Amino acid sequence: MGTFLYFAFGSNLLKERLRIENPSAVFKGIAKLQGYKFHFSWTNQETSSEEATWKGCAANITADPSSHVWGSLWELKDEDRPSLDRQEWGYNPITVTVCDDKGATYTCLTYQMKGEPTGETLPSPQYKDIILRGAKQSMLPSEYIKFIEAFPDNKNTTPVDIYNQLVKLLT
Active site residue 88: yes
Q: CA nearest 57: which of 16, 115, 105, 98?
A: 115
Q: Is 163 annotated as a binding residue?
A: no
Q: Is 8 annotated as a binding residue?
A: yes
Q: Which of 50, 88, 116, 120 is catalytic?
A: 88
Q: Is 11 annotated as a binding residue?
A: yes
Q: Is 127 annotated as a binding residue?
A: yes
Q: Is 147 annotated as a binding residue?
A: no
Residues 6+ apart with CB under 8 A from 48: 58, 89, 90, 91, 113, 114
Q: Is 6 annotated as a binding residue?
A: yes
Taking CA atoms, 158 is separated from 1, 56, 66, 126, 168, in Å, by 42, 11, 37, 10, 17
Which amino acid is present at 72?
Answer: S
Q: Residue ranges for the binding site?
A: 6-11, 127
Catalytic positions, please? Answer: 88
Q: Residue ranges for the binding site for substrate?
A: 6-11, 127
